[in-house]
Amino acid sequence: SQVQDMAKEKVQAAKNMAFAFDIDGVLAHGNHAIPEAREALKMLNGDNELGIKIPYILLTNGGGKPESERCEQLSQILESPISVDQFIQSHTPMQALAQYYDTVLVLGGEGVKCRGVAQSYGFKAVYTPKDVLAWNQEISPWRCFSEEDRAQSLPVDFSRVKFDAILVFADSRDYATDFQLIIDLLLSENGYLGTRSKNPGAGSIPCYFSQGDMVFPTAYKGPPRMTQGAFRISIEAMYKALTGVDLERVVYGKPELATYKYADEVLKSWMEEIHNENKIPQNVYMVGDNPASDIIGGNMYGWNTCLVRTGVFQGKEGENDPNSPANFGVFDHVLDAVKAAVRKEL
Ligand code: G3P
Ligand code: MG
């Protein structure tokens, strides 16, 4: 009958749309859910007129913890199960680098959590700044280093370690030490700490950053706080001043193309998992709060973009971002964005 045909069409449309959600400022603030996000996810998990699952992935510039640990936390606060198979942190695509580099300095995040992350990606010898401080505290005159830090660190003679690459996975908790160690390795002879290249600026060891956001929303009531992009441009400025040449480096995360390509692969395999169909949904909706990463990246990649007012973007009613306007619209919160997109597609 006609009614059945219409229902069939809607089911097809539901399988042909998908959401990519930013986390900070859209689904949560740190470890507190944004309440509307719970209802939005419930709707997509099948609590809708068709009783069908609408695929979604989480695409965050956050990081610093193993994917499994962050998914467990998010599942609890969002009251919906979040699988690692639908989850991309800033550093998740960096696992591909493990086939090129064995010995890496991994920076950022709480304690030495990022060691475990890098090991889970397959890097063979993973060291953190705390390991280096445990070896020689004098390397960083203004370090933060406690007995607790020492307990987390590995006893290593770094005069014998040749680093293959520098990987910044998350926000530095000790800018002074991390600046110093990154610059030391960039200016080193072949990746050995304590050495200086005869020709600094020519062919330094590769340096990767997991994302480029300048600021992010926090519990602070004032303007958004600085994050990894601000840390990176400081390194770039120091490197340029010390060597006279521009630092060659690679940045992952939104809005970099590599991250969106990776997201497509994740969407494809997630579709396979929930609908047993091996295809990327055509109508992807990115819901984000940061015009300079979520929205500009989504626009460039041909996704529909929804900007929400629960995070970095602070525009007034009726305003879009002047530099990177969301092409599907601006919404008070994620639930309004999801409802509007579902209304459009089904
Ligand atoms: O920029 C740091 C991070 O908190 C941003 O996360 O989820 O908004 O991409 P997200
Ligand atoms: Mg955000």
Task: Please report which confidence band the pLDDT of residue 2 belongs to, taking 50, 70 and 90 as the band edges.
Answer: confident
Could you report the per-residue pLDDT of 97-143, keeping only the tens digit for each?
999 999 999 999 999 999 999 999 999 999 999 999 999 999 999 99
Q: Which amino acid is at 54?
A: I
Is the confidence at residue 314, as pLDDT, over 90?
A: no
Nearest atom in ligand 1 to 312's CA: 8
Vertex 196 angle, CA 130 and 183, to 5°: 45
Residues flanking ion ligand 2, Cβ below 5 Å = 22, 24-25, 289-290, 311
pTM of the predicted structure, to 2 decimals:
0.95
Residue 208 pairs in a beta bridge with 167, 250
Position with higher pLDDT, 2 vs 35: 35
Mapping DSSP to helix (H, G, I), strand (E, B) and coil, where does residue 234 land?
helix
Could you say which ligand is closest to the alpha carbon of residue 226? Answer: 1
Q: Which of 22, 59, 312 is the best mutation target for the ligand 1 pocket, counting ligand atoms within 8 Å of the beta carbon and taking the most?
A: 22
| pLDDT for the residue 203 | 81
Is the confidence at residue 1, as pLDDT, over 90?
A: no
Task: Please report which confidence band the pLDDT of residue 49 belongs to, taking 50, 70 and 90 as the band edges.
Answer: confident
Is the confidence at residue 257, as pLDDT, over 90?
A: yes
Alpha helix segments (H runs only) across 45-193? 67-78, 113-121, 129-135, 147-152, 175-186
| pLDDT for the residue 217 | 80
Sequence-ordered strand ranges (E) for the chain: 17-21, 28-29, 32-33, 56-59, 87-88, 103-107, 125-127, 165-168, 207-209, 215-216, 225-226, 250-251, 283-288, 304-308, 329-331
Is the confidence at residue 21, as pLDDT, over 90?
A: yes
**Cα of 312 from ligand 2 centre, angstroms:** 7
**Cα of 63 from ligand 2 centre, angstroms:** 12
Least confident of 115-129, 218-232, 245-259: 218-232
- Tell me which residue of 96, 104, 61, 56 sits closest to 78, measured CA to CA: 56
Where along the chain do its domains lie?
2-90+255-345, 96-251
Which pairs count as long-range contacts for 111-120, CB under 8 Å and 24+ apart, including other chains? Answer: 111/149, 111/152, 112/152, 112/153, 113/64, 113/65, 113/66, 114/64, 114/169, 114/170, 116/66, 117/63, 117/64, 117/65, 117/66, 117/91, 117/169, 118/167, 118/169, 120/66
Measured in degrees and rounded to the nearest 5, phi and psi for residue 133 equal -65, -35
Nearest atom in ligand 1 to 215's CA: 1
Task: Please report which confidence band the pLDDT of residue 202 belongs to, taking 50, 70 and 90 as the band edges.
Answer: confident
| Range 143-160 average pLDDT | 96
Q: Which CATH class is domain 2-90+255-345?
A: alpha beta
In CATH terms, are 2-90+255-345 and 96-251 the same topology?
Answer: yes
**Cα of 22 from ligand 2 centre, angstroms:** 5
| pLDDT for the residue 218 | 82
**Cα of 298 from ligand 2 centre, angstroms:** 13
| Range 233-253 average pLDDT | 97
Residue nearest to atom 8 of ligand 1 (CA): 24
Exposure letters 161-185 (e unless 16+ CB within 10 A, then b): bebbbbbbbbbbbbeebbbbbbbbb
Is the confidence at residue 4, as pLDDT, over 90?
A: no
| Range 14-36 average pLDDT | 95
| Range 233-250 average pLDDT | 97
Could you report the per-residue pLDDT of 293-307, keeping only the tens digit for each?
999 999 999 999 999
Is the confidence at residue 170, as pLDDT, over 90?
A: yes
ipTM of the complex as predicted: 0.97
Residue nearest to atom 4 of ligand 1 (CA): 62
- Multiple choice CATH, 96-251, 3.30.1330.60, 3.50.50.60, 3.30.70.20, 3.40.50.1000: 3.40.50.1000
| Range 259-288 average pLDDT | 96
Q: Which of 19, 57, 65, 216 is the best mutation target for the ligand 1 pocket, counting ligand atoms within 8 Å of the beta carbon and taking the most?
A: 216
Could you say which ligand is closest to the alpha carbon of residue 62? Answer: 1
Percent of the chain with pLDDT over 70: 100
Pocket of ligand 1 (CB under 6 A): 22-25, 60-62, 213, 216, 227, 290
Q: What are 188's two structure tokens?
A: 């080193």
